[in-house]
Structure 1
Amino acid sequence: MAVIIRNEVFSCFVFYGVLLVLKMYIIAIITGQVRLRKKAFANPEDAMRHGGLEFYRLDPDVERCRRAHNNDMENILPFLFLGAIYSMTGPSLAVARLHFLVFFLARVLHSVAYLFALRAPTRSLAYTVAQIPSFSMAVQILMAVAAYA
């Protein structure tokens, strides 16, 4: 069954939004795999299942993965809200695509920089670049609805 979304901007948003959600799942899977490899479990029952309570502990590599995932949630979830609303304000497809693409690429770079501990300021630059389209969309949404407030 094919679903046709007639709003091209919204279709573009959905494409990048789904890619971002998949990226978040990948980071979650990586976190779980690092936990297993490093035998560093967040819950005592998991540690007992995998060797004993001595594995109920923190590990710097696991924590790095968790921070990358938490940062995704703090940034991608607002983007999904803003992007959906922004898509309804009637932006040009080219401008909207640029917003979505820049955010997506910056968040991928941010995750790579986090997981591989790339030299500073790679991660913070990626974070900042991703904030630009989010801020732009928020301002454009406010301008579109200001007349009705």
Structure 2
Amino acid sequence: MQRRTILQALALVGMVPAISFAKASQPVINVYKSATCGCCTEWITHLEKNGFKVNAHNVPNTAAYRTKFGVPQALGSCHTGVVNGYALEGHVPAADIKRLLAEKPKAKGLAVPGMPMGSPGMEVEGEPADAYDVVLFQADGSSRVYRHYAAK
């Protein structure tokens, strides 16, 4: 009995560094948003619920961050995030960010142009969700649909 207790304790001690390392290795997303934007805060909550650590920065002019991180003006929304060198514009779903980070395409980032109803942070209970696209964009401004979400 004592041997089993010792082995269990050793196994637990061995797991503690792995658990700490797993949390430390989660991607950090820096988000630049307006201090008064509720949907931006809801998007951050969506990201955190999906395992991302988020550093939110309230800024007076979000457009300056779109320019700084190379987001084409036509793909603009209400906040800009940055993770592992990729720009994230608007209400990009966490699943698409995870896919981006796993696939590591040669691209500047992802965007959900505008503020489509039903996208993460833009959900309204009892209201239908709009169809929208998550767009993968390049440094030269070209883009393609990365994922399409149907209306609900």
Alignment TM-score, normalising by the size of structure 2 = 0.24
Structure having the larger proportion of residues in strand: 2
Alignment TM-score, normalising by the size of structure 1 = 0.24
Structure having the larger proportion of residues in helix: 1
